[in-house]
Amino acid sequence: MRAPAGEMELPPEADRIEGVPHPRETLTLFGQAQAEADFLDAFNADRLHHAWLITGPKGVGKATLAWRIARFLLDRPLEDHDAGGMFGDAIALPDADTLEINHDTPVYRRTAQLAEPRLCLIRRAWDVKKGKHAAQISVEDVRKLNAFFHMSATDGGRRVVIVDAADEMNVSAANALLKTLEEPPKNAFLLLVSHQPSRLLPTIRSRCRALRLGPLDPENLAQALDAAGFDAADRSDALAELAGGSVGEALRLTNQDGIEAYTEIVALFSKMPQFDRPRALKLAESCVGAANVTRYELVVGLIDRFLIRLARTGAGRPPLVEAADGEAKLMARLAPEGQAAKAWATLQQTLSARAAHARAVNLDPAALILDMIFEINDTASRVAAR
């Protein structure tokens, strides 16, 4: 289900997955009830920390939770310490049991349109001249907090900052944000979305309270996909396996026919160490050209995922669910024991680094895909010869 779309025209957003609702437009958060409860417990006990680090794998709902918290804090009135009885006691509000707010409120409408004056969103900026997003969040992006806090101070109430994703700050930006974390303005709350908190400064992590989100199970993943307007049908188990419990990744796989692509990869490798050259060429050629950039990224990522699953199988941790027909039998054959697991894990690291280099220097996609397939076939041959 989608929230009402705003009328304001926006440049491309660094934190949006193409074709799916933005986290601020997502009305329901699935599978993360514990994280929501932890925040509400702190709020109701009047132990609300000024900075929250929302962590977990990509696509499990971290940004959606940040927007739910932001709307809740902005909509919830402050306790009035000046309207009490003769001893000046505050008039206590009833405990909150949900982060959900009325969708007809001004706060909800303004945040949906990025027009809420008490909310500041920090993310990678869109470079109009270059026609792409900046590679990192810059110190200039963070320094706009000074103006935000100054201008919003007269409005009263709470003020909220969302940094999405905090991992993308450069060193100068991180140090600038640290100053705000060390001396936060009154009634200001910072929500830092982080896919890899280990990349953040230890001093930033130490000044935040963590909310940890986990991967979604197939049932919650299917519900999230349905809410986003996608029918997972009978593929929710396979999607959950390939997506690692990530809604964002599952949506990407759904948009790009990822299940079908992975099925083709498994079929190609099912004959190994016998090499199916025509099938390999067809897969490689499907990734050529500017129109197939997303297909290229998808195939490279799925091959990487296949190798990881192979290595885990050899190490005694086979996938609990097949992501394609015949996958379990194939993996048991190609990774029968620990030595094979080590060989596949080493190859996965090698090919992952090679793929990153190839993308950086714009090598021919077909050549890279074929090179990966050749290397996998060679490793399969060595495993079979043992």
Q: Give me the tens of pLDDT residue by residue for the chain, a chain 386 residues long.
A: 344 444 445 678 888 877 778 999 988 999 999 999 999 999 999 999 999 999 999 999 999 999 999 999 999 988 654 444 445 555 567 899 999 999 999 999 999 999 999 999 999 998 888 888 899 999 999 999 999 998 876 677 899 999 999 999 999 999 999 999 999 999 999 999 999 999 999 999 999 999 999 999 888 988 888 888 777 666 778 888 899 889 889 988 988 999 999 999 999 999 899 889 999 999 999 999 989 999 999 999 999 999 999 999 999 999 888 999 999 999 999 999 999 999 999 999 999 999 999 988 888 999 999 999 999 999 999 999 87
CA trace torsion 135, 138, 142, 148 (10° rounding): -80
Q: Please state the pTM of the whole predicted model.
A: 0.84
3-state helix, strand, coil in the chain (%, to 5): 55, 10, 40
Distance CA 288, CA 300 (A): 13
β-pair partners for 164: 193
Look at residue 92 and give its three-state secondary structure. Answer: coil
Q: Which pLDDT score, from 0 to 100, does residue 4 have?
A: 46
Per DSSP, which regions of 21-125 are E strands? 51-55, 119-122
From the list 103, 34, 94, the residue with the least C-alpha distance to 67 is 103
**pLDDT at position 315:** 96
Angle subtended at Cα 205 by Cα 201 and Cα 207, rounded to the nearest 5 degrees: 115
CB 358 within 8 A of CB 324: no
Q: Residue 237: what pLDDT?
A: 81
pLDDT for the residue 15: 83
Give the H or E element holding residue 147: helix 139-152
Give the amino acid at 89.
D
DSSP per-residue letters across 278-325 = HHHHHHHHTT-SGGGHHHHHHHHHHHHHHHHHHHHHHTT---SS-SST
Q: Is 53 helix (H, G, I), strand (E, B) or coil?
A: strand
